[in-house]
Each structure stands twice: as C-alpha cells, then as structure tokens.
Structure 1
Amino acid sequence: MQSLFSENKRETPEAIKAEIQGEIPTWLQGILIRNGPGMHKIGDTVYNHWFDGLSLLHSFTFENGDVFYRSKYLRSDTYKHNIEANRIVVSEFGTMAYPDPCKNIFSKAFSYLAHAIPDFTDNCLINIIKYGENFYASSEVSYIRRIDPRSLDTLEKVDFANYVPLNLATSHPHYDGNGNTYNIGTSIAEKGKTKYLIVKVPTIKPDDKNACFKNCEIFCSIPCHSLLSPSYYHSFGISENYIIFLEQPFKLDILKMATAYFKGVNWASCLGWHPKEKTYIHIIDRKTQKVLPTKFCTDALVVYHHVNAYEENSHLVFDIIAYEDNSLYEMFYLTNMKLADNEFKKGKKFTFPQCRRFVIPLDIDKNTEISTNIVRIDGTRARAVKEQDGYVYCTPEVLFEGIELPRINYDYNGKKYRYIYASKVQWQPIPTKIIKCDIQNRSLLEWEEELCWPAEPVFVKAPDAKEEDDGVLLSSVVTSDAKKSSFLLVLDAKTFKELGRASVSADLHLDLHGMFIPEKELSTKI
C-alpha cells in the first residue's frame, strides 16, 4: 500500500481514449477534474507528508458515451523551483526545506505580527474552485493558480491577498444560485488583530479575467478568540439564510510559525490541539452580514468537512464530519503510512470520523431556563442547553460512523436533504468503499471491489432529474492489482448499480478533491 502514496506518478499530457465496459450515459457531457499529490520525491529528497506532494491534475472528459483521460503536473512556481534544483527547495506544510530560495520572510525587521506569516508555497494540490467564469487549483493559502480545464495547462498565479487581507483560505467554498462564490479565510492583521473573514466573490463576465477578485467584498468579519492562535479549518457551512463557521481548538500558533524556519521545525508542528477548550459555533446572518448575538458552543472536536445545512421550524440544522482529536493529519506522514493494517491497530490510535448533526435553535427567549433542552423539532436526539455563562451548549446526534469525503446533490445545498455520498474509512489510511447514506431511514448502499481504492464520489444530476438521487456518481479508482487497469467508475446514484467504467492505460494517482464541469460552463476564452 505504501507505494500508492510514495511513488511518483507519470503525467499523461495528451488525451487518451479510455476502454469502456458497460455504458456511459450519453447525457453526461463535460469534464471531471481532480487534484491531489502526485510527486513525493525530487532528486534525493522526499516529502515528509503525503499532503506535501506536488499537485498532479487529472481529468476525464465525457463526449457522447466516450471518455478521454489526461493528467498534468501543475506548473506552479514551487514545481519549477524544485525541478530546476532537482531537490525540494520550497517548504511545504509538513516539510521544511533548507535553504529556501523563495523570498526570505525574515530578511527584514518586522514591526507587525503580519510579517511573520511565511511566503507560502503555491503548490495548489487540494481542490478545484470556480471564481467568476474561471477555474483554479487551490490549497489553503492565499495563492491559487488558474487552469485551462480542457488542456490542464497552468495559467497565471493569483494572490487573494492582493484583493482582501487574507493569509489563509479554505479549499471548499460555496456557490449561490447566482454563481457568486463565498469563502472564508484568516487575516493576520496588524498588531495581532487576527480575525476570520468571509469573502464574497461575484460572478462578472468582462474581458478582465480578474474582475471578480477586484470586485470581491468582505461579507463578514469575526474576531478570533485567541488572537495569536487562530483556529484551523478546512471548510464551512451555508444554508439559505445563514453561514456556519466552527472555531475549533485545533489552532495555529503564529509566534511558533514565525520562528519555525530558524528552529528547524515544519509548519505542521505549529498546529496545536487543545482538548479542554470549547468549539465555538458562529452563526452569520446572510441578510445583515452579522454574527448572531447568541453564543453557541460544543465540546472540543476537529472538523475538516461540512456536509450540508438547512433551516427547519426556526432551527438551523447542520451536518459535519467530526473527529475526537487531530490524529488524522498525523496518519498521513509517510513514516506512519508504512505501517501495515495490524500495526495501525497496535500502535498509535487514530480516531474514526463520525457524521454528526447539530440542531441550533434560532429563536431563544431571554427567560429560557438554564439546563433545559431548547431544541423543539421532532426526530432528532441533538440537544441545545442554555448555561450559566450565557452560552448555548450544543450536543450533536451521530448519524453515521466511519465516513469521510462527503458530497451531496449540490442543488440541495442549503436545503433539507436526504442523501450523503461518501467514502468509507476503515483501518487503512485510504477509503475502500463508496457509500450512499440515507439520512431518513439510516440505511447504506455500498460499492467495493478487491484491491481498489476509490476517490471521493462526485454526484452529477441527470438532465430530467425529479428526485434528489436522480443522477450518477463518478469516482476515480486506483487499483493495486497488477492485472487490472485503474478506471473511472460510473454508478447509478439511486440504485448504486454500476453503469460502466472507463479503464485507462495511465498512471492514475490517489487524489483529494475535484469537481465536474458541465460542457455549458466550459468557457472557450482562456
């Protein structure tokens, strides 16, 4: 299994036609683009962590029942510097490189804490985001790289910080019905005034490709509870009228980060887990653009992925994938991933994810009794209790165990929904199953195949869809069976029966996230 993670992958820059088994729906027209680490060794140097590997984009293009595959490394500045030096010379989050030829952030004296934030890598290896009419490879810093979704060519680098004061930003934005994009990031401002900024990037179609960024607005500002230790976060939630941000006690120590280079430690070591602290639940009203005055909290947890959120009878319901601690990140250090299945169980424990549902009462009377459950909707075991300190303490309900990389029919984003499509996580550090979770009756449908490792499933709705699960699921599947080619899997989302697969004679890699771009959204202007 270790070779699935540590071996460098060969790119396939020219499109190759896949061999089809079964049938690919002819209505499926567009491109599935995925992003993830593909190069882990450069010269004699090796990245410490799987999430540090150089970004390798790959795509599956659907044309009238045929599928064409290609892959290209993101030609970031980081890629170019490393390849030219034939060694890792640009630091990543889990790997500090010495010497780093990039801008030395400590070359000048700094008077404000903001200058202690490093000039991060532009190795945008996590996801694909749409801003305006264009598509970008992204990670969790302010840099994004525009790409051509058809050719996978790397285009210009965009620094979000040139438009809004963000040092970090998520790779999981949200889109509204008008095509506007919402994202959240951390601003390490002057004199330690650290805050979280929710940013709205509008859809604009002039010739200026950066017009959407020039016209973006700070939608809401939320001060950090710990100004020198902002929360780590990977995503956030959104409903019709609210935005949900979880400020969790998994924190980035800014002072430690400022001296990491000199102390010879990586930036990941600057993340600290504080299990005795609260998780603060910030609810932002999308109409007023203000945080609700009621203070909500829950126990310490670590969340990477929100699933969905909606409103029902004056309550806000939101579902997340939660962990009891921060051990997931530790699992993906390459030294830990060398452990066999039984060694995982005997050695360091890694907590399993849970799909948890929170129910937040939005109308809370000032005279509400202390220690009384104020959740007033049926069919949930989630609780909310007002405490002496004025906070409303929220206890979630566990919907499902052991699932990650959740996706939904995005037409139901922010609305009451029924189905979650996800990956099943077992003792291996990568998923072995794709599952469909029915929230209404708590049932599961599963797909698995021996020696196959499926990526995050992506839902694509059918053109005549009437029900939430009318459509297909797409998943890039890497096989460790030497007698079998890796393939793109197409499942009927309703029945979970395989409709077809597109096998390719190429070096597919385990990826992280991506998106399906319908043919009508593919711009001809690059």
Structure 2
Amino acid sequence: MCTLKRPVFTEFGTRSYPDPCKKLFSRFLSQLIPGDMTDNAIGNVFTLSDELYCVSETCYLWRVDPETLKTADKVNLEKLISINLASAHPHVDPDGTSYNLGCSFHKGLRYHIVKIPPQPPIKEEEANGPRAFLKASVITSISSSWKTCFSYYHSFAITENYLVLLEQPHLVNTLKLAVSVVKGHALIDCMDWTPKEKTKFYVIEKFTGKVKKTTYKAEAFFVFHHVNAYEEDDQIVMDLIAYEDPSFLQKYSLEKLRAGIFDESCPPQLRRFVLPVGKQILKVLLNEGVWLRHNKWKQRCEIQYSLSLPVSLGLEMPTINYKMYNGRQYRYIYGTGAFAKGYYENAVCKYDLKTHEHKIWREGENMYPGELTFVPNPDAKEEDDGILLCVAVDIRPDFPSLMVVLDAKTFTEIGRAEVSPDITVRYSVHSHFIKNQN
C-alpha cells in the first residue's frame, strides 16, 4: 500500500508529483497525457433538476446529498458527453433547461455548448445514481482560434434567445500542459497572456445552436465572472467584471498571502458591452464615452460598443436576482470586495444601474464577507424584494464568523447566525441556496 502524503493532482496553483505506486511506463504516460484531472470541487455549487452538485473546472462533478452534504456520486462528463473541461457556472432557464460551456482537446481544441434538459422529480427510494446528465447533448461546437491553445473561461453569458462565449487571450497552452508534471508546473504556469490578440465574442442561437457570422472583438482583457446579459432593440447588452490583465492572479500565491502582501494593482471593473444582433446597425452617441467600429470591406460587422460603468473599482463575485432576472433586463447588482483594497475593502455592496447609487455593508477590518446569495420573496413584485445571505469570516482567533442576512432593498442587516470560534470557517468563493422541501 502506497501513502503519498503529497498532491497527486495538479491544481490551479499547486503542482502534483509522480505516483510511485505506478509502474515506470504508466508514470511516464500520465505525465505526457493530462488524463488524471483533479476532482477538487472548489469551483461552485449548483442544482440541476433536483440534484445538488459541487464542481471544479474539469470534467468531474460530485453529486451531493442536500440533506446530509455527503458525497453520493462522482460524475465524469468525459464519459457522458466527451467534455474534458466544463465551466463552473452553468445557466438554468425558467423551464428548468440548463446550458453549460465545455471544451475538448483530444480530437482538436474545440469549445462546446451543452444543453441539459430538466429531469422529472422521482421518489428518493427510486433514485439510482445521478440523472441530470442522462439526456445532455452538445448543441454546437466552435474551434479554438489557436492550434495548440484554448482560451481559459470560468463563466459565460445567456439571454432569452442567445448564448455568448467570450474567447479571451488568456490561453491554456496544451504543449506546456502535457509536460507540466515533468517540469514541475501547476496549471497557472501553463497559461500564456497574449495582449496583442483581440478578445472575441461568439453569439450562439440558443434554440438552434447556430453560431452567428458576425464577429465581435474588443481589446484584450481578462474575465472570471459575467454579471448578466439581456436583449434590447436588436442588441445584446452584456455586463461583466473585467481586469486589464490576469496579473492579479499572482496576488493569491501562498507566499504572498502568508507575508500579508496584497496590493491594489489590476483591480476588477464593472464593464458593459453591446453587441448588435439584428439587421439594423447600432447607432451610438460618441459623447457617452464609448466607441463604435464598422468594417464594411469584409462584408461583415465588427462592431463593439463598450463602456466602464460608473462604479468604483474592486467589486467582484457579482450576484443578481437570478431566478426572476437572469437573461432579462435588470437594475441591481450585488457584489463583494473579497480581499481587495480600496472602496469595497471588507465590504459587500448593492449597485443601482439606473441611479448609480451605492449601498455598503461593512462589519470591520477583521471581517471578510464572501459572495452574496439572493433569495427572492416568493410573492415578490419588485426586483430587489428579497434577502441576501453572506458568509463573513472573522480572522481573529477568538471571534465568531457569521452568516449575515441583509434586506435586499434597504441593504441593512436584519439578522445573523454566529459560528463558534472553535469551528474554522473557510472563506467562501461561491454559494447556493436550496429551499427546504419539507
């Protein structure tokens, strides 16, 4: 029996080590072919049909019992739908149909849009393994713009009729990935930032899988999280959290965190893009501080209208009233400053897209609030009628961490649940609310 006591899977910032239990040939082969991927489900938590899943950004998902939080099944998307990597942020339509973004690299580097129809609920005693992906299918595929690289992605955008895939020039280099174990590299070491390349927007018709011929491009930027997108006057309005480049990822190295080094460079910024999808060319008032380009010579539109919304830098992990307004025109964004310095330091925020008003909740410099989760009022008639749940970690040894409950309309605290200081609460990246079925 072998006991490694060291990482056996390569993570985003941590390298793995060869498995001494494998024979020499198997060890060599596994170093050249990145087939053994991590199943570390730190990426997100979400529900598909009536099943709860924890995910990373690989092909592996864990189905979890929502009552006990015990792991039930390990799902391999590569075996089910030939997907090697999958986004940690699928979207769910009002009818229960889910969509996700994936990619494959064994037969050419391609991005895939996956459609997952809802499954009817069954009795617990009739359950026999995960069912959510039984009828999942790839509705369209798009080749990578690079022969040996593909764009890193964490999320994508959805509207009532379209899906938008953003191909950013932060690239996963498969040649570096293939020899990563041999050279002692983590995933972040296998990525290339190519700022001279454009960021591309692919628009896909949701119900046909058809990719629009129109090409949309922007100057290079990096993105983790899309906020929301919607259709208005034959155009897609898309809001996201953008970075000038991915250099901010280096802030999270263990060495810097232990040394307390966390500067204000490369902060996140709320940015809006407008993509024309109808027959009419979008007319933009240039005095709004935006720009418009139309390339007539190629007989195709390369039009992109972008602006930085008037919100302070530093807002991340955006939340909306997802159930009622995802893919639809909306007004309110909720977010957290996470570990950022500046205006949102140690705070969470409500931002009004119409009035540009900010509302802040902050406990103190020792408290770090995570992502906000919006829970709508079942009888809500207004967008911000509901509550927000937030786990806030207190870094002082003898002080309790909290789950804070905020009124989504007034953004004032209406309750909290304290956790005993004897229990360690980790900082939460993403969260998910499940309604009690009893």
What TM-score does the superposition give when structure 1 sets the normalisation length? 0.75
Out of 290, 315, 320, the position equivalent to 1:408 is 320
- Which amino acid in 2 is paired with 1:493? A
Which residue is equivalent to 2:308? 398
Which residue is equivalent to 2:191? 271
Which residue is equivalent to 2:34? 117
Q: State the shift of 1:138 in Å.
A: 0.3
Output one character per residue of 1:84-135: Cα deviation in whole Å (capped at 9) or x when no partner. 644333332321222336879973998xxxx833311111112112223211
Name the CA distance, whole Å, in 1 between partners of 2:377 and 2:168: 38
Q: 1:431 to 1:139 in 2, by over 3 A?
A: farther
Name the CA distance, whole Å, in 2 between partners of 1:352 and 1:253: 25
How many matched pairs?
422
Out of 302, 305, 313, the position equivalent to 2:222 is 302
Structure 1 unmatched ranges of 5 or more: 1-80, 369-373
Matched ranges for 1:278-293 at <5 A: 278-293=198-213
Out of 132, 146, 155, the position equivalent to 1:235 is 155
Residue aligned with 1:155, SS: strand
Alignment of 1:440 with 2:354, yes or no, is yes
Q: 1:501 to 1:380 in 2, by over 3 A?
A: farther
Q: State the shift of 1:379 in Å.
A: 11
Residue aligned with 1:385, SS: coil
Which structure has the higher relative contact order (CA within 8 Å, separation 6+)? 1
> Root-mean-square deviation (CA), in Å?
2.7
Output one character per residue of 1:360-418: Cα deviation in whole Å (capped at 9) or x when no partner. 111246xx7xxxxx345999654432135545142411112321000100110000000
CA contact (8 A) 2:335 2:371 kept: yes
Q: 1:483 to 1:255 in 2, by over 3 A?
A: closer
- Which amino acid in 1 is paired with 2:79? N
Alignment of 1:91 with 2:91, yes or no, is no
Residue aligned with 1:246, SS: strand
Q: State the shift of 1:252 in Å.
A: 0.3
CA contact (8 A) 2:4 2:19 kept: no
Which residue is equivalent to 1:247? 167
- Which amino acid in 1 is paired with 2:83? L
Alignment of 1:359 with 2:278, yes or no, is no
Which residue is equivalent to 1:504? 419
Name the CA distance, whole Å, in 2 between partners of 1:285 and 1:375: 23
Name the CA distance, whole Å, in 2 between partners of 1:453 and 1:108: 42
**Farther off after superposition, 386-395 or 461-470:** 386-395
Out of 183, 196, 200, the position equivalent to 2:111 is 196
CA contact (8 A) 1:357 1:397 kept: yes
Identical aligned pairs, as a percentage? 38
Q: State the shift of 1:323 in Å.
A: 0.3
Name the CA distance, whole Å, in 2 between partners of 1:427 and 1:321: 16
Q: 1:254 to 1:102 in 2, by over 3 A?
A: farther
Name the CA distance, whole Å, in 1 between partners of 2:419 and 2:145: 50
Name the CA distance, whole Å, in 2 between partners of 1:105 and 1:128: 38
Alignment of 1:155 with 2:72, yes or no, is yes
**Farther off after superposition, 448-457 or 394-403:** 394-403
- Which amino acid in 2 is paired with 1:127? N
CA contact (8 A) 2:51 2:132 kept: no
CA contact (8 A) 1:361 1:375 kept: no
What TM-score does the superposition give when structure 2 sets the normalisation length? 0.90
Alignment of 1:182 with 2:99, yes or no, is yes
CA contact (8 A) 2:103 2:109 kept: yes
Name the CA distance, whole Å, in 2 between partners of 1:336 and 1:123: 23
Residue aligned with 2:433, SS: strand
Q: 1:105 to 1:326 in 2, by over 3 A?
A: farther
Name the CA distance, whole Å, in 1 between partners of 2:290 and 2:15: 43
Alignment of 1:495 with 2:402, yes or no, is no
Residue aligned with 1:218, SS: strand
Name the CA distance, whole Å, in 2 between partners of 1:344 and 1:239: 36
Q: State the shift of 1:203 in Å.
A: 1.4
Matched ranges for 1:201-216 at <5 A: 201-205=116-120, 207-216=127-136
Which residue is equivalent to 2:375? 460
Q: 1:378 to 1:385 in 2, by over 3 A?
A: closer
Q: 1:377 to 1:102 in 2, by over 3 A?
A: farther
Name the CA distance, whole Å, in 1 between partners of 2:24 and 2:272: 42
Q: 1:378 to 1:172 in 2, by over 3 A?
A: farther
**Farther off after superposition, 325-334 or 494-503:** 325-334
Which residue is equivalent to 2:385? 470
Which residue is equivalent to 1:31? none
Which residue is equivalent to 1:29? none
Q: 1:141 to 1:201 in 2, by over 3 A?
A: same
CA contact (8 A) 1:194 1:227 kept: yes
Q: State the shift of 1:287 in Å.
A: 2.7
